[in-house]
């Protein structure tokens, strides 16, 4: 089959790299492979089977003429990715996941330090040196110090991924490269599943920190929130980092979240998310700074997450019903 695949690649090398040509090539390859195995089962040797297959399917010009495939416009051409390009893309997605995961973690750690230092100030820690308001300002300072590198990570990650924007317009993978990526995706599935289970378990168990801290008194509840944020930061990192690697494989294979149907769903859900989550963050900060509700305002995040998950699921179900 390697000889047949190589021959087919050479035949299509000079043809326009369009979606129509790609589908034609995959269909032709499937027919050639089926014929090759039939000949082998009938007792033909390797060379005989290859020769017969090529002689029967080798005239690509006639096939293109029969299908009425003519010249295509320049904007319809899509690139055929090389092995180096795919490896660079996967590595870039991995780095992007690392940076975004760390940046998100820094913001949550900063919020935790703000709550911790403010809580220490309320409990009279170092009251002879700093007033309660001064302790709150120190906490804000720590938050801002961690916020700056986090934002820098987000911006740098976004700029690094800009060079791969052209993939959104369409691309093709060589047959052998697509098979290799499918194999790597299958091998990564267990790692991704473990990271997902671990992250979900951490989030489900994280409120225990608040219950334990509250057992030592109402003033200690804020310390439990700090631990909760730290645990959630670890979970978010797992989701983002391993989710980005999985996303790279799915994008290259055009499956899962990167199928045509899923892209349409994500456009709507993403638009809603871009409005909802900034508003929730504003509610969290205002309720904390203005009304001093740090001990309870954290609940807006899990509640919003549950409601947003319900909305996403309901929207996906409705879309599938409409498609059916």
255-279 pLDDT, tens digit each: 876 655 555 555 666 667 667 777 8
Say what the pLDDT of residue 71 is.
47
User: 166-172 long-range CB contacts below 8 Å, 24 or more apart?
Assistant: 166/79, 167/89, 167/251, 169/78, 170/19, 170/78, 171/78, 171/79, 171/80, 171/81, 172/17, 172/22, 172/78, 172/79, 172/80, 172/81
Identify which has the larger pLDDT, 197 or 223. Answer: 197
Say what the pLDDT of residue 74 is.
42
What's the rounded mean pLDDT across residues 100-129? 81
Cα within 13 Å of Cα(215), Cβ side: 5
Say what the pLDDT of residue 65 is.
59
Lowest mean pLDDT among 183-192, 212-221, 256-265, 273-282: 256-265
pLDDT of 129 over the 60 cut: yes
**Residue that is written with structure tokens 């302790």 in the block:** 135
pLDDT band at 88; cut points 50, 70, 90: very high
Q: Name the pTM for this structure.
A: 0.63
Identify which has the larger pLDDT, 131 or 108. Answer: 108
Burial 39-54 (b: 16+ CB within 10 A, else e): beeeebeeeebbeebb
pLDDT of 233 over the 60 cut: yes
Say what the pLDDT of residue 206 is.
87
Say what the pLDDT of residue 33 is.
84
Q: Which residues pair with 80 in a beta bridge?
A: 172
CA distance 71 to 110: 58
The Cα diameter of the chain in Å comes to 94
Identify which has the larger pLDDT, 104 or 169. Answer: 104
What's the rounded mean pLDDT across residues 37-49? 84
Judge contact between 143 and 113, C-beta under 8 A.
Answer: yes
Lowest mean pLDDT among 41-45, 76-80, 108-112, 151-155: 76-80
Say what the pLDDT of residue 176 is.
78
**Backbone phi and psi for residue 25, each to the nearest 5 degrees, phi listed first:** -65, -45
Cα within 13 Å of Cα(130), Cβ side: 17
Q: What is the mean pLDDT of the chain?
A: 78
Say what the pLDDT of residue 251 is.
87
Distances (CA, A) of 40 to 13, 44, 51, 64, 275: 28, 5, 12, 28, 60
Say what the pLDDT of residue 58 is.
58
Say what the pLDDT of residue 15 is.
63
Say what the pLDDT of residue 72 is.
45
């Amino acid at each position: 089959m390697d000889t047949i695949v190589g021959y087919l690649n050479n035949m299509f090398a000079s043809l326009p790299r369009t979606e129509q040509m790609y589908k034609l090539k995959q269909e032709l390859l499937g027919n050639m492979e089926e014929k090759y195995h039939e000949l082998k089962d009938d007792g033909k040797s390797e060379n005989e089977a290859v020769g017969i297959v090529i002689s029967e399917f080798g005239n690509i010009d006639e096939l293109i003429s029969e299908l009425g495939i003519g010249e295509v416009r320049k904007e319809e051409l899509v690139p055929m990715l090389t092995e180096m390009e795919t490896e660079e893309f996967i590595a870039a997605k991995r780095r992007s996941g690392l940076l975004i995961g760390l940046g998100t973690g820094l913001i949550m750690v900063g919020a935790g330090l703000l709550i911790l230092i403010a809580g220490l100030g309320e409990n009279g820690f170092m009251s002879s040196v700093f007033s309660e308001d001064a302790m709150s300002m120190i906490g804000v300072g720590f938050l801002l110090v961690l916020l700056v590198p986090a934002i820098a990570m987000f911006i740098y990650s976004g700029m690094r991924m800009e060079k791969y924007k052209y993939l959104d317009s369409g691309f093709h993978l060589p047959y052998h490269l697509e098979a290799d990526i499918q194999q790597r995706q299958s091998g990564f599935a267990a790692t991704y599943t473990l990271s997902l289970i671990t992250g979900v378990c951490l989030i489900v168990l994280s409120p225990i920190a608040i219950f334990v801290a509250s057992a030592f008194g109402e003033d200690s509840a804020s310390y439990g929130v700090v631990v909760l944020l730290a645990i959630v930061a670890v979970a978010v990192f797992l989701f983002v980092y391993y989710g980005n690697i999985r996303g790279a494989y799915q994008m290259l294979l055009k499956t899962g979240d990167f199928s045509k149907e899923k892209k349409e769903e994500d456009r709507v859900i993403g638009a809603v998310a871009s409005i909802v989550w900034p508003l929730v963050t504003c509610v969290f900060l205002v309720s904390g700074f203005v009304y001093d509700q740090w001990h309870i305002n954290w609940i807006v995040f899990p509640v919003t997450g549950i409601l947003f998950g319900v909305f996403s699921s309901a929207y996906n179900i409705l879309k599938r019903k409409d498609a059916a």
